[in-house]
Amino acid sequence: MFNGAQEIYLVLYSILYGVMLQSLPGGLWPLGRTLRGYKYQNGSYEEKNPCKYRNRTFWSFIILNILPAAYFWMIIIALKKQIINIYNPFHLIFTFWISLGVFGFYRIYYILIICKFEWYDDLKEDIVDKRGLSFDKLSHLVWGIIYLGPGLALFVYSHML
């Protein structure tokens, strides 16, 4: 059975994971283009380099699916070992904060987009024009640490006991 902190974390993380996925630009998982090696657009087939789509699909899957799932289970295990009183406002805010860790993966993914922008050149309109993406890697890194830091610190602390 889950304790109160685990249940609150489960609900918040699930909701925020959905919000994070919806806020990403479309086309990050181009599996069809990866397998076919071409892109269908405006009634014709356009040959593309499938390598960039393979890289994009692979890293999207790792950073936006595998790592958040691993983080989720790490925190669930850490919350099982800790005594967190959900009636204590500080503990409740901390539980909410560690569920915000899902946005750390969003920030990590944008660092990848900035570093490997040639993989995302077909999404330029959505990434640059509509979203006003900051191309400052340091700001994304700092926000990623702010989001992921408390949860990772809790995990390390719970395993030191």
Give dist(CA 141, CA 43) in Å, integer. 41
pLDDT tens-digit series, residues 9-54: 999 999 999 998 888 776 566 565 556 655 666 666 666 666 777 7
Residue identified by tokens 């669930």 is 76
Q: What is the pLDDT of residues 96-143, one digit of tens each?
A: 999 999 999 989 988 888 888 777 776 666 666 555 556 778 888 999
pLDDT at residue 79 above 60? yes
pTM of the model: 0.81
Give the integer Cα–Cα distance in Å for 156 and 85.
Answer: 20
Task: Give the C-alpha separation, 28 to 112, whole Å.
Answer: 12
> 77 and 154 in contact (C-beta within 8 Å)?
no
> Per-residue pLDDT tens for 80-100?
887 777 788 888 888 899 999
